[in-house]
A and B are shown apart, each in its own frame.
Chain A
Amino acid sequence: AQSVTQLDSQVPVFEEAPVELRCNYSSSVSVYLFWYVQYPNQGLQLLLKYLSGSTLVESINGFEAEFNKSQTSFHLRKPSVHISDTAEYFCAVSDMRFGNEKLTFGTGTRLTIIP
């Protein structure tokens, strides 16, 4: 079984400031790692994922996350946030045997951008 911990339920950040959203996981098997974003009244959208290879993965809108196996972490970072980044962010893992499916999610971090 897997579990995901997102310690920060809410993170307020000033516009153009950097941000880090923390994610730690626990698993007895090898996992894939994901970050999803949920805008108000919408479903989840995949932001980025780590399957293998380089431990630093990037999204098209400037977010990046680094897989740290020794610390079992997959923190999400952005060097300069925009108002449009206001959303709920969920970290998730999947058992490698199931590919990108049967996800276990954290409780989410609400990112609020202050103008």
Chain B
Amino acid sequence: ETGVTQSPTHLIKTRGQQVTLRCSSQSGHNTVSWYQQALGQGPQFIFQYYREEENGRGNFPPRFSGLQFPNYSSELNVNALELDDSALYLCASSLQYNEQFFGPGTRLTVL
């Protein structure tokens, strides 16, 4: 059984650019959640996708958007990058309402 994987591992972008992060969910899971973990902070919930539909959103602006595909993998897109977007982005998959399994994260640096 393959766990949650994320790509890329690291990414460097400049202010104003756009970025796409990818997540492959664990086999059998239908829900993907994204979290942002700034340096020295706990993860913050960005949004969740359940069966390809957004199913809840945290306190993040609309320039943070996402997709979930029929195979339940997911993308996180961030437009108009700002310096404060520099963080570790964590993806977690689950079978709805059940335990979340986290991926290793993508480290995004915005210069």
Partner-B contacts on A (CB < 8 A): 4, 6, 36, 41-46, 49, 90, 92, 98-108
Identify which of B40, B48, B98, B105 contacts A102 (C-beta below 8 A).
Answer: B48
With a cutoff of 8 Å between Cβ atoms, the chain A residues found around residue B40 in the complex are 107-108
Are B43 and A98 interface neighbours, CB within 8 A?
no
B83 to chain A, nearest CB (A): 20
**Looking across the interface, which residue of chain B has its beta carbon closest to that of A108?**
B42
Are A44 and B102 interface neighbours, CB within 8 A?
yes
21 contacts between A and B (CB under 8 A): A4-B42, A41-B104, A43-B90, A43-B104, A45-B102, A46-B99, A90-B42, A92-B42, A100-B94, A100-B99, A101-B48, A101-B100, A102-B45, A102-B48, A102-B56, A102-B58, A103-B35, A104-B45, A107-B42, A108-B40, A108-B42
With a cutoff of 8 Å between Cβ atoms, the chain B residues found around residue A90 in the complex are 42-43
Are B31 and A101 interface neighbours, CB within 8 A?
yes
With a cutoff of 8 Å between Cβ atoms, the chain A residues found around residue B48 in the complex are 101-102
- Interface hits, B78-111 → A, CB 8 Å: 90, 92, 94, 96-100, 102-105
- How far apart are the CA atoms of A80 and B74 in the complex, in Å? 41
Partner-A contacts on B (CB < 8 A): 4, 31, 33, 35, 40-45, 48, 56, 58, 90, 92, 94, 96-100, 102-105
3 nearest A-B pairs in the assembled complex, by CB-CB distance:
A99-B97, A105-B42, A43-B102
With a cutoff of 8 Å between Cβ atoms, the chain A residues found around residue B44 in the complex are 105
Are B100 and A103 interface neighbours, CB within 8 A?
yes
Are B98 and A42 interface neighbours, CB within 8 A?
no
